[in-house]
Structure 1
Amino acid sequence: MALQQRIRYRQAHAPGATFLTYTPNGKKLITAGVDNFCRIFSTGSDDEPVTVDDVQENNTAIVAGAGFFIAGSEDGTVSKYSLENNKFEEILVRTSLPVRDVALSPDGNWIAVASEEIAVKVVNTKDMTQIQILNEQTRAIKHVSFDSSGTRLALSCTDGNIYVYSLGSGEPDMIKKVDGMIKSLESNAEASSKVLWHPDGRAFATPTASREIQVMSLSDWERQRSFKTSHSQDITAAAWSPNGALLATTSSDLSLCLWDAKTQKLLKKYDDMKATILAMAWHPTENILSYTNNDGELYIHTDIVPAEHASLLQKSVQPAPFFHDPAEGRAGIAANQLANGTKHVLPERRARAGTPDSLDDLLGSDVMDDDDAGDLADFVVDDDGAGYAPAINGHGKRTNGHLPALQSPKGKRRAYGSSFQPEIHEGFQPGSTPWRGNRRYLCVNLTGWVWTQSQESSHHSITVEFHDTENHRRFHFTDPFKYDKACLNENGTLFSCQPSSGSPAMIYYRPHETWTTRTDWRTNLPAGETVTAIALSESYVVATTSANYVRIYTLFGLPIRVYRQKASPAVTCAAWRDYVLTIGNGPVGGDGMCQLLYTIENVKHDEIYQSEDIVALTPNSTLVSVFFSEEGDPYIYDSTGVLLTLMHWRTNGQARWVPMLDTALLSRLASGNKQESYWPVAVANHASGAPKFHCYILKGADKHPYWPQPVLSEFGFQIPLSSVSDKKAKDAAEDEMDLSDDDEDSAAIKKTVESQQSTLEQALILSSTLHTQLSSTLAHTRPTSHQRQALTNLEVDIDKTLLQLLAQECLAGEDRGMKALEIVTLMRDANGKMLDLANKVATRYGREVLGEKIRELEERRLVGLDEEEDV
């Protein structure tokens, strides 16, 4: 009964998840829940709490500073409220997805916001325009936590990793990724993976998958003591006491435990909780622990620490529980010296160059005087004959007698220096995205999209949707195999999953419609083999694996090819009709990364067109996607935003990568005020017949599309010749010149001519490239009437553009005659009309000499044709 008298119970909010925070001075306790208000309780008072209205519903986190508090909610708003007038002040930041946690820096100047978006936003509480984005993590963040200095922020990610960032005066820098310490949890799970910074600032602790609290030191990132909590279910909340001497933990098993941080011994266990506790907070100065649960209730537990242990709360900040304190060195020498009153400070042990384990740098250190050096020499004397002090030679240096003999195999040279580790390009599935919250896209193309959702730890759910809803119906199914890759086309959908729980990796093909009963098929891979990437064409199913095998099946599951890929490890693959393109890691390039090598083969004819040729990437760039266009030409998109196509790929040794579009040079980015990137989807012909780059436009720091599904955008090809900003700078420089009226007219004409000429040059090289590409395709496939007409149109476009360029050169002046004649020589003139038109253009602009040269060229061509007829 006495214990119940020390617990003050309040129904703070409607039943549901409820959270709390103390103000820095501990005078007020603030709660937030599922309803649209917050409650402010005064410490030590039984009066009714103050209610703050105008609050969003379904609040998920709350923090308090000096004179204000901040709440985050599921509608994506993070709002600031005044504690002076208990009113709403402003919305600090909005997110497109639900907010899951907020953390306030110790000085109250910065608020870190974790939502179901991948990026974490750190916003200034006094000026919301000051914002930093942390986006090196791969999935959504569940918890955020500042250390006691406010310069480090820990993110507990739903992928089971902890990301620690340094928030100095410059750009945020990720200083450590800690894996294998926390459990992978969904962002809305009741279980906790929050980082608990110890008050002494040298360590943090987190709940683990084994329901323990593990401590990690920051100096060496080593795991230290752990609290064996013996909770029977996941830990939902934990908190250090203000001085770090005590730790409180709670779990879904409805128990609350109090621990001695120094000994990790259980001091008290309360196992009569009525609902799962979601948040706990110690009072800054008093023996009070307050907590809220998932039923809207608040408990203020006074005298939480039993009287026999209450003195622990009166101590100053206690050291974190280490196996060995990093400040004491490896053998605790510093601690012993301090206890004995000596003044020697041994520098931290480090790797030394030159002779093994030399003492020169110790004896010459600034922290020791001559007497200290003598004392150190006495310290290392082998006074007990144990043999730990090495022999000293005549120069005062240690001999190598204490080292084992170096042995190396015959015929091999001993390696010196650190070993070089090349950077391998990771395998990926084109058209897929990483997890974001509990959803991810497995495939996105012009046919439709496939996405998966993690429902529980036991299964996922798959949804397949189509752009053409008249011919295909959306379908949905439960996925117990947890497929992680997919391909989609007009014929069917292909899936693959990785090995799990003793089951091998599997490939699954599901056709959309057949003239007989639809026949799905599955096939297992050999044990231990994982799927790197899959591809689906109108004829074949392709899979590259961790064993560097390329496995090719028919659409009915009949295996017809299995061979080992030369370039390894495998990266990705793509397919179109009978053609298969595979990519793998090759030799190391100058930037330390493995060059990517590709192979293209015709499976039906068993013919290899390109074997282990280089994928042309710029240094330090990576491959983002690879796919075949609607016409069957290979395309790649790299991390710099450049789209390239492979020309002459059907001729062995003649293939080359040609840039078709550099998205960084798009005119929409010329102002510099727009921050966006582009996620490739496909290359397909537009209604006008010209091919277009289809993509999703991603705003801000986003790197992958998410829900709601973005609108598909398209851009015409534009081979990079010059940037928009370069032309603007040139125009601005000319505008600043002091010109007379005549000069101004002349400069204006010149500027117009140059602008038109640049446009025509762009059109010429693009039409020529597309013509070459289509000609190669028609030479190796059975052309359609539409393709033949497209080739004719391109030929006409090329000659028309050359004729317009000729007119521009004639307008520029007589001194441009040689270039004008060069343009004429490039005309195809299959029927002799183009040279006649070129002669008329020269005559129109009064270029008589040029007209003469064109007539001579026409006569030579006629003579050449006559000679061909005679032959």
Structure 2
Amino acid sequence: MKIESKPLRYAHAEGHTDVCYTEDGRNIITCGHDGDVRIWMDIEDDDPNSHCVGESALAVCYKDKRLYVATDNHLVQAYTFPDFDKDGIVTRFTAAVTQIKSSCKIEALGCCSENMEAKICNVEGGAPIFVMSNHKGPVLSLAICPHMKYASTACGDGLMRIWDIDTQKVVKEINCVPKINTFYAAKVLCRMDFEPSEGKYLAYPSNREIILLDCQSWGQRMSFTHNTIKCAISQCLFSPCSKYLAGNTVAGQIAVWDIESGLCMGIVEHPTSHNISAMAWNPKGNGVLAYCDVAGQLGTLVNCYGKKSSSSENEIEDIETVERDNGNDGLADDLIQNYESDDDNAISLEKIKNETLGLIKDKDDSRPASRQTAYVPSTVPPQPPFQPSSTPAHLEHRYMCWNEVGIVRCHTVENGESTVDVEFHDTAVHHGIHLNNYLNHTMASLSSTVLALSCETPSKLVCISLVGSSKEWSVSMPDTEEVLCVTAAHGLVACATNARLLRLYTPMGTQRQVISLPGPVVALGGYNTTVLAVYHSTDPGVSDQHLAMDIIAMNGRQVRSKTVPVPLTPGSKLTWLGTTDIGSPCTYDSTGILRMYDVSSGVWMPICDTNGHSKGASDSWFIVSISEPTQKVRAILCRGTTFPPTVPKPIIAELPIQIPLCEIESEKSQYEEQLVRWAHTTADVDMKTARETALKLFALACRSEIEQRALELMELLKDDRLLPLAAKYASRLGRMHLAEKLTNLAESWEKETDKLNVAQNSHFQELDTQETYDVTNSEQDLNASLIIPQKAKEKKVENVTPIKPVTIKASPGGVRNPFRKQQEVTKCVQSPLSLTERTLVEVHSTADTAENTDPLKPLTGENFMDWFTRNKSLLEERNPELTPSELSRHCVKMFKNVQSIAHADSNKRKHEDANGDTTTSAPKQSKLSAFAFQKKT
């Protein structure tokens, strides 16, 4: 039969309310925020007995004709029943008691509190049996195995812990609790429950489903959910017969499942959608479930077993009486044998033994093979789809999107009406928008060109163009599809559906493409005309999610894709997906590690560990945007939770991007971290600072008497402009052997560079052919389809030219000491180190030749090396198209001509210009002729 809900009635003042049954099932006991404990004969009792215990009461429990109440004095007070006289104090805490739990099979009382402790106490008081104190947040709930072997606690630090009572140690931790810093602000209480008869299973809520764990292997046995459940499940509870499981959501939905078949018996909606604060099954086993909500109302559900509650009440009560009668085995066997019929409610001890011990399979066991008791590998549930930069959908006031463009908020009032507000960081982009959320949109994405809104049911995509006059367009999904994720970028809008389809649209509503995803979608991101789709590549493992990302780029009529795996910290989940301001894909997991994908090199790099910037263990960061030029991560600190509040408006902090190298506190590692970070990110680096950093790292190696490391650094940088200064520095320290090696290094570079570049080019060309997005042979078209910064594109084309370092040669005047101190060198010489934005070596754009029509007069007695060192910066500025090696050869010729010109008259100068080198003495070219010359080459 269909589950029916009795009308709600007022029980207590608004606030957290708890409920329980007496062991005979004849009375309902409630306590509430008003400090009263009420004893009801049934739901229709108009005059319940009321007793005041204090200003407030958070929890109540009945056991062995005694009531245990959590009062506002932070203690568990015992009362006699029904006289309600004080009967001692069981235990005390330093903060509010959040739950009291016990059962008829255990002779103990479980209590948990906001002071980050949980206790298992004797019902008569005294020293506690077991104190669980390794929590890092308020303990929200507690469950105890009927054999007193295991206990489980759910804490506001995000973890559910399973304890071995004998060893008093944690045997398993599961990340399933929303982080919270106080019990009074918790929406999801994560009330778990052990199977009451044998304690074989532990059920706990995890987002929109209930997970059933095997208490032997702690592996996932089953999961229970329903497509009408749209928000997080707060608590779950086994029925007294262990055959049914009840769960409730934060929006007031109550569902009951048949554990054996996995079918949902029915779902009841709360009339006012208030959060359910407590549930209790009637011990009679008649299928009656009592519940209370945060508004202080009491209600009951009947027919939860699929049959009339009154018809099965006496039968189940008799069976439970037989089960408890352990003294008369013969009578119990006879009665049980009689009940081993077609009655679904009958209990067979033989069946229980066979199923538990795995002995002989019952001949009459008609369960399908998939439902038989067997060992199931321990796996984590797959991560459900989510919307990046958003807060949970069940909140009345929430962020639907918060990124570098603006903020999208959703406000829901008690009567169900909802509105959407859009606030732009730059009002020059667009003015603020206020919308009535008639379709109950739960997903939103915002870009500089379009606002995209969507919901699962009815599944419809609504977009508002922000360019020019605001134009709204919408598209409905087919009947069998529901939108799970949506993203909006500058040049497209995309949505992923439960049919594993990725639908792409232009900002004005033209349907662009439909793509099949290889697995269930998890999140979407976008940049310009590129979509990032993260999905489950395979089923989750023992503790990890197996995710992959498709980088899908739209280039005119072409669609190109590249698939890359998504790395995650062990045991974590993906919590944010996006790009930097120049388009590099980034991910953020639940452990606080931010990673960036370098498209040009094809590697993932951890760029920020937000845990180092948190003060509390339960604090987390909400990512807003990432900037590569400024090397900053803009994020919001969330204290005790995973999402920021809407009021007051939180403050955005800037976290530095930092590669987690070893021994990062040391000076050497800090310089190395800067070089690595500048090599793989498009940082707005001051070239002078970059050169000084690399030179300091070289100096540290020299001072540490590790000459081989200093030489290795020069080979790694492979910058010929570093060698003169590095050799001079080494000679000043008295390391002549290192200076000699640095002097000879340039000549070896010139000989080996061509050969090395040929090998490297062939290697990288081989890698490029393996990329899945390479659909053409044009390198320019290939780069246009990827989210690579413009600087990186130009650099990639330029680096094809072989790197030829400058050779240190003797001056024309004869043998000289190249390390002799020269006058005014330090004033005129530019630092010889150079670093690009994305690599550790930089070569200026090349050309075949260039001219210098402004010769510099050498000083009296000045040789070439002194003249070249003094005027090097000016020569580089006047000849930016030359490589360092070409510049040095060109300057040798120019120096000879300048010496001749300085000692000749004007006629002789003309004669020399006519017969001299055509490259250096040619008249100055015009701009057009210079371009024509470059075009020929």
Cα distance in 1 for partners of 2:319, 2:736 equals: 102
Tell me how far apart the structure 2 counterparts of residues 51 and 818 of structure 1 sit (CA, whole Å).
Answer: 81
Q: Give the stretch that moved more between structures: 249-258 or 435-444.
A: 249-258
Which residue matches 1:574?
A: 525
Distance verdict in 2 for CA 1:452–1:71, change over 3 Å: farther
2:886 corresponds in structure 1 to 865
Look up the SS of the partner of 1:714 in the other structure.
Answer: strand
* Superposition map of 1:564-643 within 5 A: 564-565=515-516, 567-584=518-535, 596-603=548-555, 605-606=556-557, 611-615=562-566, 623-638=574-589, 641-643=592-594
5+ residue gaps in structure 2? 1-8, 42-46, 80-85, 122-127, 140-152, 155-159, 161-174, 179-186, 325-331, 342-347, 365-374, 748-805, 810-884, 894-918, 920-937
Aligned-pair identity in percent equals 20
Closer/same/farther in 2, CA of residues 143 and 485 from structure 1, 3 Å limit: same
Alignment correspondent of 2:53: 52
**CA-CA distance at 1:456 after TM superposition:** 7.0
Select which of 697, 705, 708 maps to 1:818.
708
Write the distance in 2 (CA, Å) between the matches of 1:458 and 1:541: 29
Deviation (angstroms), 1:801: 1.8
The aligned residue for residue 494 of structure 2 is: 542
8 Å CA contact 1:694, 1:713 repeated in 2:
yes
Aligned CA distance change for structure 1 residues 550 and 182 (closer, same or farther; 3 Å): closer
CA–CA distance in structure 2, aligned partners of residues 862 and 525 of structure 1: 70
The alpha-carbon distance between structure 1 residues 493 and 544, as it changes in their structure 2 partners (threshold 3 A), is same
Q: Which residue identity is paired with 1:846? A: G
Aligned equivalent of 1:391: none
1:509 and 2:509 are equivalent in the alignment: no
Give deviations 1:102-148, integer Å, cap 9, x for gaps: 6456655323689xxxxx99665755846532353788248766765
**Distance of 1:148 and 1:351 partners within structure 2:** 15
Alignment of 1:444-455 (within 5 A): 444-452=402-410
Code of the aligned partner of 2:623: P
- Post-superposition offset of 1:459: 5.8
Residue identity in the other structure for 2:669: S
Mapped to 1, the partners of 2:501 and 2:271 lie a distance apart of 45
Matched, 1:530 2:482: yes
Work out whether 1:847 is the aligned partner of 2:735: yes
Q: Aligned equivalents of 2:133 and 2:507: distance in 1?
A: 55
Contact map agreement 2:10 2:298 (CA 8 A) in 1 = no
Change (3 A) 1:78 1:497: farther
CA distance 1:15–1:444, change in 2 (3 Å)? closer
Say whether residues 1:136 and 2:136 are aligned partners. no
Q: How large is the RMSD of aligned CA atoms in angstroms? A: 6.4
Which residue of 188, 194, 197 maps to 2:239? 197
Structure 1 residue 799 displacement after superposition: 2.2
Counterpart residue type for residue 704 of structure 2:
A
**Equivalent residue number for residue 719 of structure 1:** 659
Aligned AA (1:485): M
Query: Which residue, out of 675, 689, 700, partners 1:764?
Result: 675
Aligned to 1:38: 36
Deviations 1:578-626 (A, max 9, x none): 33334455578999976624234244x4455653454456787654433
Cα distance in 1 between the residues matched to 2:570 and 2:723: 45
Q: Which amino acid aligns with 2:632?
A: K
Contact 2:38 / 2:49 at 8 angstroms: preserved in 1? no
Displacement of 1:765: 1.2
Q: Residue 799 of structure 1 is aligned with which of 687, 691, 711? A: 691
Cα deviation, 1:184-222, whole Å, max 9, x if unaligned, reads: 79999xxxx974632xx644565999x99998776x466
Question: Given the alignment, which residue of 161, 174, 178 partners 2:224?
Answer: 178
CA distance in 1, matches of 2:732, 2:535: 58
Alpha-carbon distance in structure 1 between the residues aligned to 2:421 and 2:509 = 23
The 1:760–1:460 alpha-carbon spacing in structure 2 relative to 1, beyond 3 Å, is same
- Confirm or deny: 8 A CA contact 2:533 2:550 kept in the other structure: yes
User: Residues 282-681 of structure 1 correspond to what in structure 2 (within 5 A)?
Assistant: 317=321, 335=340, 427-436=385-394, 441-452=399-410, 460-466=418-424, 475-500=433-458, 505-511=459-465, 515-516=468-469, 518-559=470-511, 561-565=512-516, 567-584=518-535, 596-603=548-555, 605-606=556-557, 611-615=562-566, 623-638=574-589, 641-649=592-600, 655-661=601-607, 663=609, 667=612, 674=617, 676-681=619-624
Cα distance in 1 between the residues matched to 2:510 and 2:739? 66
Q: Are 2:176 and 2:206, in contact at CA under 8 Å, matched by a contact in 1?
A: no
Q: Displacement of 1:483 after TM fit?
A: 1.8
Closer, same or farther: CA 436–716 of 1 in aligned 2, 3 Å:
same
Distance 1:259 1:848 in 2: 93
Specify the code of the residue in structure 1 equivalent to 2:176.
Answer: E
Distance 2:521 2:397 in 1: 26
**Aligned equivalents of 1:600, 1:185: Cα separation in 2:** 31
User: How many angstroms does 1:808 deviate by?
Assistant: 0.9
Q: Secondary structure at the match of 1:317?
A: helix
1:861 is paired with a residue whose SS is coil
Aligned-pair CA distance for 1:667: 4.7
Task: Report the alpha carbon displacement of residue 427 of structure 1 after superposing the two structures with TM.
Answer: 4.3
Equivalent position SS for 1:715: strand
Structure 2: how far apart are the matches of 1:586 and 1:207?
A: 30
Report if aligned partners of 1:809, 1:817 keep a CA contact under 8 Å in 2: yes
- Please say if residues 243 and 315 of structure 1, whose CA atoms lie closer than 8 Å, have aligned partners that are also in contact: no
- Displacement of 1:691: 1.5
- Return the letter of the residue paired with 2:709: K
Structure 1 counterpart SS, 2:677: helix
Instruction: Number of aligned residue pairs: give it.
Output: 650
Q: Give the 3 Å change call, closer, same or farther, for CA 579–251 of structure 1 in structure 2.
A: closer
Going from structure 1 to structure 2, the CA distance change for 1:498 and 1:121 (only over 3 Å counts) comes to farther
Q: TM-score, normalised by structure 2?
A: 0.54
Contiguous gaps of at least 5 residues in structure 1: 1-9, 115-119, 269-304, 321-326, 337-342, 354-360, 366-375, 381-387, 389-416, 650-654, 728-754, 775-789
Within 5 Å, give how 1:697-736 maps onto structure 2: 697=637, 711-722=651-662
Q: How does 1:7-46 map to 2 (within 5 A)?
A: 32-35=31-34, 37-38=35-36
Give the letter for the 2:510 counterpart.
Answer: L
C-alpha distance in 2, partners of 1:16/1:809?
A: 66
Specify the SS of the correspondent of 1:763: helix
- Alpha carbons of 1:344 and 1:597: their partners in 2 closer, same or farther (altered >3 Å)? closer
Paired with 2:254 and 2:531, the residues of 1 have a C-alpha distance of 51
Structure 2 distance, partners of 1:563, 1:13, is 54
| 1:441-475 Cα deviation digits (max 9, x unpaired) | 43232334334456579764434445568987765
Show the counterpart of 1:109: 109
Matches of 1:581 and 1:242 in 2, distance apart?
52
Q: SS of 1:598's equivalent?
A: strand
Verify the 8 A CA contact 2:461 2:476 in the aligned structure 1: yes
Q: Hey, what's the Cα distance between the residues in 2 that align with 1:27 and 1:344?
A: 28
Deviation at 1:524, TM superposition (A): 2.3
Q: Is the 8 A contact 1:452 1:460 kept in 2?
A: yes
Give the Å deviation of 1:804.
0.5
Structure 2 CA distance, aligned partners of 1:14 and 1:30? 15
- Report how far residue 551 of structure 1 moved: 3.4
593 and 144 in structure 1: CA distance in 2 versus 1, 3 angstrom threshold = closer
User: 2:625 corresponds to which residue?
Assistant: 682
Tell me the secondary structure at the aligned position of residue 800 of structure 1. helix
1:810 shift after superposition: 1.6
Per-residue deviation at 1:820?
Answer: 1.4
Cα distance change on mapping 1:722 and 1:334 into 2, 3 Å: farther
